[in-house]
Amino acid sequence: MLDVETLNFIKQEIEALLNQGSEESVRRAEEMAQMLEARIQEQRQMESDIVQSKLRALVAAHPWMAPKLLQQDLSKIAGGKASAKSKRRKVITIATRVTDALSPYVACRIGCSDCCHMNTMIYEHEAIRLAEVTGRKMVRLAYRPINEVFAHGAKFNGKPCPFLREDRCSVYEDRPLVCRTHHSLLDNPTSCNMEIPPAKQTRPPMYDPDLLEKPYIELNVKHNPAEPWGNIAEFFPD
């Protein structure tokens, strides 16, 4: 969420770029202004009455989804003595319960595939699972720093997932965690449209995906800090 300090800092950066007066600095200032407007729009959507009422109804119907309770459940999994593979399965099971609980409140429907055109980052163990269930050949990737992974993955924005078939996920039951956590609490999926210029794209309001994604990342880093990861299309280019 944007706080006053961050907002003022961004505004100062935009003003400084405009004062430089060069064509490049003006272009960068315009991009920053567009991104700032997109972030403000995200915050407005998240704070809107319709989204907040859905979140309240969701937790009322499923008390275990109250953030503190869900965090407790995930902490128990992380602190258990089971194998990393077993712990991952348990997190995926909870993610499936979350998806089912969210179903009445989200814009996601069969045939909606906007999120399948996003920069979908997955771990090697998730790619291995997809290769096993589909029989597709998987490319092994080297471990790369996070900035390099995202910089390379950005080129896949707007391109369909290699497992998308006629606007439906062909590996839905075995899809990676990041695919399970994405959704929109709006009444339509327009915020997920990847045809919108990157600087103007807004993240749809969601039941906080970090509640699941952060523990999953921490679990994987603890098990294998050098596990390769990247865009799903890098693992399956053909």
pLDDT digits (tens, 9 = 90+) for 141-178: 999 998 899 889 989 999 999 999 999 999 999 999 99
Nearest of 182, 166, 178 to residue 108 by alpha carbon: 182
pLDDT digits (tens, 9 = 90+) for 92-133: 999 999 999 999 999 999 889 999 999 999 999 999 999 999
CB-based contacts of 64: which residues, under 8 Å, 6+ apart?
70, 73
The first and second tokens of residue 228, run together, are: 């390769």
pTM: 0.84
The rounded distance, in Å, linking the Cα atoms of 42 and 36 is 10
The first and second tokens of residue 192, run together, are: 């997920």
233 near 156, Cβ under 8 Å? yes
> Tokens 């921490």 identify what position?
218
67 near 110, Cβ under 8 Å? no
The rounded distance, in Å, linking the Cα atoms of 53 and 64 is 17
Region 81-91 average pLDDT: 95
**Per-residue pLDDT band at 1 (split at 50, 70, 90):** low
